[in-house]
Amino acid sequence: MSTPPGIAYINQQFVPMEEAKISVLDWGFLRSDATYDVVHVWKNRFFRLDEHVDRFLDSAKRIRLKIPVDRLELKQILAECVSRSRHDNAYVEMILTRGVSPTFSRDPRDADNQLICFSIPFGWILPPEKREKGLAVAISDIQRIPPHSVDPRVKNYHWLDLVMGLFDAYDKGAETVILKDAQGNLTEGPGFNIFVVKNGRISTPDHGVLEGITRRSAIEIAGELNLIVEERAVSVDEILNAEEVFATSTAGGIMPVTRINNSPVADEKSGKLTKLLIDTYWQKHTDPDWSIGVNEVLSLSAQPETLSRV
């Protein structure tokens, strides 16, 4: 079985991607009992590394997992994966599974938590050459897992609702999907958040969604550009009648949505505000307040203020 070229960190060692294996008894495999995060590297610079690490650490705490390294060690493991893989543009994932119980106990407290990291070539939901065409999405009647069941603020692998939604979208001739909540409002898609633009105001769902780092970046960029952003419930009617729609994800950044349920959004092209946000987003990748070089991470030394964030 072929795998993308890359380097993984597993069982406290760095190995080629094709050699990275977990036990079939790992709770992450058997129970989807794990959390993860994905940060990307663009032109050999991590984008918003600290924000992704913050969320990963918070997710682990929320579901009672213990990371076996400190914050600085985690960042340097990620950087080492990128450096060894020699990818200037990389998709970099950190995973923490519940791990394996030595006695196959059904008590999750008996399992030894396992950290896995890897770097592979950067992957796109929407490649740059298709950006002007935009995404074609369908709104599925499959309901998103409610947040009182699985906290969406914890990045997780409970994707069966999203996967079934994808098949629903494919059957309707779309490329990807947006799911609704129990009240019929929009939530999110598989790996992306959604935004709608109407009368110069930008709105994004605030309930039942992962609080994406790219989502946060779009909101912060909009603030810098003096654009109004509302985090609130967003109805299906609003997205169907929007002037612009865009999605946000680490795997592609800010991406225009140009068709919904086989109907065009506006003139079926990336809108003015969406283009402005896209351009500014990619400019931020060289801003030292938003990004850091891979080699810079590798050369970091343990400072008290760094260790205090663990």
Please check whether residues 30 and 52 belong to one and the same domain: yes
Please check whether residues 170 and 238 belong to one and the same domain: yes
Q: How far is CA 184 from the centre of its chain?
A: 24
Please check whether residues 115 and 141 belong to one and the same domain: no
Please check whether residues 178 and 193 belong to one and the same domain: yes
Q: What is the CATH number of the domain that holds 71?
A: 3.30.470.10
CA distance linking residue 76 with residue 78, whole number of Å = 5
Mean model confidence pLDDT for the chain: 94
Residue 131: its pLDDT value, please? 86
Please check whether residues 238 and 195 belong to one and the same domain: yes
In a domain, 185, yes or no: yes
Rg of the chain, C-alpha, whole Å: 20
Q: How confident is the model at residue 1 (pLDDT cuts 50, 70, 90)?
A: low
- Among 121, 147, 165, give the residue marking a domain's end: 121
In a domain, 280, yes or no: no
Residue 302: its pLDDT value, please? 65
In a domain, 157, yes or no: yes
Q: How confident is the model at residue 181 (pLDDT cuts 50, 70, 90)?
A: very high
- Among 121, 153, 183, give the residue marking a domain's end: 121
Percent of the chain whose predicted confidence (pLDDT) is above 90? 91
Fill in the DSSP letter of residue 288: T
In a domain, 233, yes or no: yes
Alpha helices in the chain (DSSP H): 27-31, 49-62, 71-85, 160-171, 213-224, 236-240, 272-283, 294-298, 304-307
Q: What single string gives the DSSP state of each residue in 90-125?
A: EEEEEEEEEEE-TT--S-GGGSEEEEEEEEEE---S
Residue 130: its pLDDT value, please? 86
Q: What is the CATH number of the domain that holds 200?
A: 3.20.10.10
In a domain, 276, yes or no: no
Residue 149: its pLDDT value, please? 95
Please check whether residues 140 and 264 belong to one and the same domain: yes
Average pLDDT over residues 221-233: 97
In a domain, 144, yes or no: yes
Residue 266: its pLDDT value, please? 84
Segment 281-308, tens digit of pLDDT? 999 999 999 999 999 999 998 654 443 3
Please check whether residues 146 and 86 belong to one and the same domain: no
Instruction: Please state the pTM of the whole predicted model.
Output: 0.93
Percent of the chain whose predicted confidence (pLDDT) is above 70? 97
Q: How confident is the model at residue 230 (pLDDT cuts 50, 70, 90)?
A: very high
Residue 49 sits at the vertex; the CA angle it makes with 48 and 53, to the nearest 5 degrees, is 120
- Among 121, 144, 179, give the residue marking a domain's end: 121
Please check whether residues 87 and 151 belong to one and the same domain: no
Average pLDDT over residues 158-185: 97
Structural domain harbouring 107: 7-121
Please check whether residues 69 and 188 belong to one and the same domain: no
In a domain, 288, yes or no: no
Segment 259-279, tens digit of pLDDT? 999 999 988 889 999 999 999
Average pLDDT over residues 33-45: 98
Please check whether residues 24 and 115 belong to one and the same domain: yes
Please check whether residues 110 and 151 belong to one and the same domain: no
Segment 68-110, tens digit of pLDDT? 999 999 999 999 999 999 999 999 999 999 999 999 999 999 9
Work out how many domains the chain is built from and give that number. 2
Strand runs labelled E in 122-223:
135-143, 176-180, 193-198, 201-204
Please check whether residues 13 and 137 belong to one and the same domain: no
In a domain, 23, yes or no: yes
